[in-house]
Amino acid sequence: MSKRTCDYPDCKRKPHAKGLCNSHYEQQRRGRPLTSLQTRLEELQLLLVNQPPGQCVLVGWAPTKSHPLVTLARVPMSVGAAALILSGQPKPSPDHECCHAPLVCNNGRCVQLDHIRWGTRTDNQVDRVADGTHNRGERCAAAKLTKSDVHTIRDLCTNSGLTQHEIADRYGIDQSTVSNIKRRQRWSHLA
């Protein structure tokens, strides 16, 4: 006779170990008191009302620098994504994800509605470059080019009639770098 659900009262998740679901087992393993998983969603809903303007609003249950998840309608998602949905902004497409405002906040625990919005994966990566939280492209010690340089170089390659050598000279970089940018081998995260 095998049990179908977690031992925690009212938890409908599948048992993972010692009769507990993954999340409850993890709570037990870390020596934390077992809490209802539903309360995270409730906590999130409380955080969405009366938000102090301009300040980060952080979910309390997750450690600093984490990107906590919450389950909404049986779908696990980032707390930011859940916050947007709960505030009446449905996910525009399956390719969208919750983006945090560049240069303002990149805290994965923040559900301040002024700090989060839907964006594509590319938007999110561009945000992170703008934020300096990403270690590709601009932040790389060897990089001489800014994000807008890369866009301009691509544009010059396609539309200007300049040779790659001429473009390279303008930016003080090698022709091979221009070629890589054109072929999107470098800074491909800028799309």
Burial category of 148 from C-beta neighbours within 10 Å (exposed 0-12, middle 13-18, buried 19 and up): exposed
Is 91 exposed, middle or buried, given 0-12, 13-18 or 19+ CB atoms closer than 10 A? middle
Stretch that binds Zn ion, among 17-25, 39-47, 119-127, 138-146 (CB under 5 A): 17-25
Measured from the CB atom, the residue of 84 and 105 that comes closer to Zn ion is 105
CA angle 147, 150, 151 (to 5 degrees): 90
Binding mask 20-59 for Zn ion (x = CB under 5 A): -x--x-------------------------------x---
- Give least dist CB 4 to Zn ion, A: 12
Q: Which of residues 123-162 bind Zn ion (CB under 5 A)?
A: none
Shortest distance, position 92 Cβ to Zn ion, whole Å: 21
Distance CA 45, CA 47 (A): 5
- Closest separation in Å from C-beta 181 to Zn ion: 33
Span from 19-27, 84-92, 160-168, 174-182 in contact with Zn ion (CB under 5 A): 19-27
Nearest Cα to 127, choosing from 80, 64, 179, 159?
80
Residue 16 as a binder of Zn ion (CB under 5 A): the answer is: no
Site string for Zn ion, 76-115 (x = CB under 5 A): -----------------------------x----x-x--x
Among 6, 99, 129, 181, interactor with Zn ion by CB under 5 A: 6
Smallest CA-to-CA distance from 48 within 113, 109, 114 is with 113
Whether 33 contacts 61, CB under 8 Å:
no
Of 127 and 156, nearer to Zn ion (C-beta) is 127
* Selected range binding Zn ion among 14-22, 75-83, 129-137, 149-157, rule: CB under 5 A: 14-22
What is the chain's Cα-based Rg? 23
Cβ atoms 37, 23 nearer than 8 A: yes
Which one-letter DSSP state was computed for residue 62?
S
Residues that bind Zn ion (CB under 5 A): 6, 8, 11, 13, 21, 24, 56, 105, 110, 112, 115
